[in-house]
Amino acid sequence: MATQVRILPSGRSFISEGNLNLLTAGLQAGLALGYGCSNGNCGECLAKVVSGEVEKTRHHDYHISPEKKASGHVLMCCNTAMTDLVLEAPEALSASEIPQQQLTAKVKDITIVNDNVALLHLKTPRTSRLRFLAGQYVQLGGNNMPAADVSVGSCPCDDMNLHFQIPHLAGDEFSDYIFNQLKKSDGVEVKGPKGRFVLDESSPRSLIFIAWHTGFAPIRSLIEHAMALEVAESIHFLWITADKKDRYLDNLCRSWNDALDDFSYIPVNFETSGTVRNIYSFIFNVLNDIPNNLNNYDLYIAGNQSLVNFCNKTLLETGLPVAQLTVDSITHGAPSR
């Protein structure tokens, strides 16, 4: 049975199906609901049922006072919707409202795609998941591992499974450690999240995403989040690499293109010998082929600093409003703030 859940005071809503608890259903729909352990221990996801009926799905250790119970308060992680609901619930509407966290995750998998990129999959403890917004980054380190800031390359809707895309850079201790020493089941300290390269969920405009190489990490997070929210009429994605082999998740992007009528994937090969100005000229020619004026879109660009800075300057000079352009400079595989 599918039910509709509306959250106050934001007024946003999501569909809950089957016996999914309210927290999981909301996160999967792209809402940044407030929570901590997501296991019934901390009480951070306490919400008030304004109207409708819920059913408890599991025991929880957190004690809800008699007064709170009487006024209709329940833990979202331990209850499911039985009817359409209206809830008063904590919800983060900006990056500043996401709390800083520190946890130790385990290496679930590490795949060396080629000489240039490693895909790192970390799994958090069930009772200590990472709360973050799509597009943000964290610091990885600990256990003799050099520390570095790295964009989370996965959706906040799956907060136990964190994915990262690590470029191998000559002389860089962090990437050398990832490629040559890190092993399955190793512990990795995760601190964060940080960054304001996040989706403007209030915008009615369609979306254009541009990534250079491992700038695809935060872009992937944003794209999957936008898909979950269903906020854009259309999405166009340009992934620029020097060589086809460096588009290490090309099949994923093609699957989006095949499955969604309103999604356009544009893979772009551009030799590293090309100047930043030439790369931008090529990008601009591709953008000119996209329907409608650029002013009808929000643009998100992630890549090396020189490319991002040049695109930022030139796009604004064409008249694109500042509020419609968000950029993320990647330095040594990590966002630069």
Structure tokens at 108: 């679930």
**Residues lower than pLDDT 50 in the chain:** 273, 332-337
- Give 40-102 as a DSSP string: SSS-TTEEEEEES-EEE-S---SPPPHHHHHTTEEEGGGEEESS-EEEE--B--SGGGSPPEE
Q: For the residues of 287-299, what is the DSSP string, one character each? A: HHTSSS-GGGEEE
Query: What pLDDT, on a 0 to 100 scale, did the predictor assign at position 276?
Result: 62
| pLDDT (0 to 100) of residue 308 | 85
Report pLDDT for 336: 42
For 146-156, the pLDDT digits (tens) are: 999 999 999 99
312 dihedral zone (left: phi>0; alpha: psi -120 to 50; beta): alpha
Structural domains for the chain: 2-91 (3.10.20.30), 97-194 (2.40.30.10), 206-335 (3.40.50.80)
Q: What integer pLDDT is reported at residue 334 of this predicted model?
A: 42
The whole-model pTM stands at: 0.90
SS3 annotation, 242-283: CCHHHCCCHHHHHHHHHHCCCEEEEEEECCCCCCHHHHHHHH
